[in-house]
Structure 1
Amino acid sequence: MKKIRMIDLFSGCGGLSEGFMNTGKYTEIAAVEWLKPQVETLRKRMSEKWGEKHANDRVIHFDIQREEELFHGWNQDPQYGTSRGLDYFVNRAKGIDIIVGGPPCQAYSIAGRVRDEKGMKDDYRNYLFEHYLSVVNRYRPKLFVFENVPGILSASPDGEAITDKIEKGFANIGYEILRDLKNALVNASDYGVPQNRKRIIIVGLNKDYFNDPQNTLNLFYTKYLPEEKSDKKISVKEAIGDLPKCIPYFDEEHHNRRISHNTPKCDVSWHVPRYSNPRDMDTFRLLAEDLASGKRKFNSHRISKLYEEKVGSKSPIHRYHVLDPDEPSTTIIAHLYKDGNRFIHYDPSQQRTITVREAARLQTFPDDFEFVGSRGSAYQMIGNAVPVVLAEKIANAIVKLLGGK
């Protein structure tokens, strides 16, 4: 079978790419990402795991808003170096079949809108989908897959719903998406991901290729994708419980060293606890003990009181959460790069937040997936990624859709 030719936009560290490549049915023609640690991570993965000899060229480090250069190439940019541009790779592959990706979700996130004093109305990321649309229009793939947060359903920064803009924009270039995008909502935990992570998966079909796009889309969302669901939910403990125990190290003499104590040598990379001070470690232990005992006396109100007692100031938001070992995790988010207080390990004796490798496992990255950059960068790219297993299930469903065509 001839492999399906793919471009990954806003690729991040490659969650979508990894999942699609895992099926053995896709080949990545090019990927575009503007954050350097993510670019270097994907280049490393494409080279070492997938044997791509020209990964440094095919994974393009660039700002997608600079469309003309993105398409035609550029020379000696002080930030982005030199590239032949997307046209070169698409022409060399004799066209593409599918574009995948999703613009940054912060502008559409309900939490982001609540925190921003202007409700993210002035955030340029509201309209990055227009550049995604431009790439689709230029290369005319059979279909595209556009992933984002559920908050996109209610986002309307200039008074018009973003989903209406997306539907009209793609309709104007000959692509059709599902009319009611509420039916495009999926929970990753239904697909073998140990995490409750709800996302909108927008599939768009080229009307020149599909005779009855709406019928095909309905089949995708009611048959092909649901057929990929798992038989059972995967719990946090099933995902990370076999990793070696590790405890943050702290004492007054050595605390500036920020190293780990009682951490066995581990064959799995990135499994090192972040620095925690004694106050935080005691808080983590107290909350984990409460969960482990089954008492669960620390509700949101009591956790807020605990924060006030420990820190000496009030917080309007619920700042702590222990991951329940017997349930899928809460949504892994990029905020992890700042702190992990909402991702406390369930073992009271470890009194810490989750490691990079634990976060990666909850996002279903395999243990041989290596992140390039700082620990903060690793947390950020993991939190922003599409879970690899969910991406693989979507990729399988797309194969069925194309087979049906």
Structure 2
Amino acid sequence: MRNIIMVQYNVLDIFAGCGGLSEGFERQKKYNLVAAVEWEKPQVQNLINRLNQKWNIKDAYNKVIRFDIQRTEELFQGWENDPKYGSHEGLNSLLNKKSLDVIIGGPPCQAYSMAGRIRDGNGMKEDYRNYLFESYLTIVRRYRPRLFVFENVPGMLSAKPGGTPVTELIKNEIEKSGYEIINDLKKFAQIDMSEYGVPQKRKRVIIIGLRKDLYPNAQQVLEDFYLNILPRFKEPVKTVREAISDLPPLYPVKEEYISGGKKYSHSLGGKMHNHMPRYHSKRDMQIFRILAEDLESGICKFTSSESLKSLYTQMTGKTSNVHKYHVLRWDKPSNTIPAHLYKDGLRHIHPDAAQARTITVREAARLQTFDDDFEFISSAGDNYKMIGNAVPPKFSSKLAEAVDSLL
């Protein structure tokens, strides 16, 4: 009987975060993660831990490079005794003349997001993160992968740093680099991940760049990818109930208490990793209970923005131009899990009124489709942030399978 040798594609993950994209590619077993680049320390620590514990990559501490991607020449050649990033041999040495098949990643999205532009006095026009795609493309040009995957928020389609649409900047640079992307990003590249088994309304732009010399009919191939290949992996919409209802309930306690140096207002989650309640004041718990009971009863008095703003003023004595609260609906996908979740969870209130709380790190991870054996090892704030910034692994796994058909 003839042995069948499975070809593995070499992958480089940049702006890797805690590994949402690479997790999906690892699940497919058709890809070999050669290296990952990320500059934030907690994300690097979590990614190393995951690659080591789950995927048995013993040299993960060397494959996951903590460095500033804008310092591209040093990233290629290596550096020594940097006060922040230490020393590393660099990507050239790590790749060791291996051909690179795929580069995956998405620059930080705050500068492209509508929320980011609203919060910033200058509409993020001068934010350095608008131009990180240039560093991304410097790496693409250096290693000439067969294709690349570029993920970002829909806000990038309307962002105009310096007055020029960012899509125009990106498209021009990509074409000059010898790659081609779909002509109409708005029509083809906006993906609603709730259509792919992610129990969350999460729209993202997924840009596939094909090397022109390998794909002479690139537009035709890309249209087929977006219209036929990727949609094959759609599945029925998953709900909040399906995602988190089996997790141990965390109920308010009569008296606040200290455990492990932290103050708690709720019971603890037993042995389930990362399923620890946030501390909530009695006032906040009362608000959460009112809002969840309103939905449970079917009265639905607090479902409009105005009624939510009015309740906020009534309970806190403050006013707000935007409503602060949102209760997850059991029988619908969650609203988007954002990085902002590390600051507060007021827009991600648990739907069980008896629990009167916001969601835990593990619940956020479930809604982002991280497996329960993915242990987040940083502070709760860092964990929420990296989960919110990640690509849901269930979607990235389907994306990896679809990309395989292009390779």
Into which bin does the TM-score normalised by the smaller protein fall?
over 0.9
Q: Within 2, Cα distance between the matches of 1:58 and 1:356? A: 27
- Does residue 32 of the first structure (1) align with residue 37 of the second (2)? yes
Q: Distance in 1 between matches of 2:35 and 2:329?
A: 39
The answer (yes or no) to whether the contact 2:11–2:34 under 8 Å persists in 1 is: yes
Instruction: Name the CA shift for 1:334/1:248 in 2 (closer, same or farther; >3 Å).
Output: farther
CA distance, structure 2, for counterparts of residue 78 and residue 246 of structure 1:
43
Report the Cα offset of residue 327 of structure 1: 0.3
**Aligned equivalents of 1:78, 1:171: Cα separation in 2:** 37
TM-score by length of 2: 0.96
Q: Is the 8 A contact 1:234 1:328 kept in 2?
A: yes
Letter of the aligned partner of 1:259 in structure 2?
Y
Instruction: Note if 1:376 corresponds to 2:376.
Output: no
Distance 1:347 1:143, change over 3 A: same
2:116 corresponding residue in structure 1 = 112
Per the alignment, in what secondary structure is the counterpart of residue 69 of structure 1?
Answer: helix
Confirm whether residue 280 of structure 1 aligns to residue 284 of structure 2: yes
Contact 1:248 1:274 in 2 (8 A): no
What corresponds to 2:189 in structure 1?
A: 184
Partner Cα separation in structure 1 for residue 330 and residue 393 of structure 2: 21
Code of the aligned partner of 2:39: W
Partner of 1:212: 217
The amino acid of 2:120's aligned partner reads D
Contact 2:257 2:264 survives alignment (8 Å): no
Residue from 200, 222, 225 that aligns with 2:227: 222
Q: Which moved more, 1:327-336 or 1:205-214?
A: 205-214
The partner residue of 2:60 within 55, 60, 70 is: 55
Q: 1:293 aligns with which of 269, 293, 297?
A: 297
Match of 1:138 in 2: 142
Any idea what the Cα deviations from partners look like across 1:296-333, whole Å, max 9, x if unmatched?
A: 11121111011111111101111000000100000000
- CA displacement at 1:229 relative to structure 2: 0.6
- From 155, 167, 170, give the equivalent of 1:166: 170
Task: For structure 2, list consecutive stretches of 5 or more residues without a partner in the other structure.
Answer: 1-5
Structure 2 CA distance for aligned equivalents of residues 264 and 101 of structure 1:
34
| Structure 1 residue 173 displacement after superposition | 1.1
Per-residue CA shift, 1:87-106, capped at 9, x if unaligned? 112225x1210000000000
**8 Å contact from structure 1 (residues 250, 278) kept in 2:** no
C-alpha distance in 2 between matches for 1:278 and 1:17: 41
**Per-residue CA shift, 1:352-378, capped at 9, x if unaligned?**
000000000000000000112100000
Distance in 2 between the 1:253 and 1:42 partners? 33
1:6-38 Cα offsets, whole Å, 9 max, x none, are 000000000000001101111100000000000
Q: Does 1:304 align with 2:323?
A: no
Aligned to 1:201: 206
Aligned length: 399
**Cα distance change, pair 254–269 in 1 and its aligned pair in 2 (3 A):** closer
**Following the alignment from structure 1 to structure 2, what is the Cα–Cα distance between the partners of residues 197 and 355?**
19
Q: Does 1:242 align with 2:246?
A: yes
Displacement of 1:247 in angstroms is 2.3
Deviation at 1:259, TM superposition (A): 2.6
Using the TM superposition, give the Cα deviation of residue 254 of structure 1 relative to its aligned residue in structure 2, in angstroms.
6.1
Amino acid across the alignment from 1:28: L
Q: Which runs of 5+ in 1 are unaligned?
A: none
Corresponding residue for 2:322? 317
The equivalent of 2:26 in structure 1 is 21
d(CA) in 2 for partners of 1:397, 1:98: 13
Of 107-116 and 144-153, more deviation after overlay is shown by: 107-116
CA RMSD of aligned residues (A): 1.4
Equivalent position SS for 1:309 = helix
The 3 A distance-change label for structure 1 pair 58 and 253 is: closer
Contact 1:250/1:277 (8 A) holds in 2? no
Identity percentage over the alignment?
A: 55
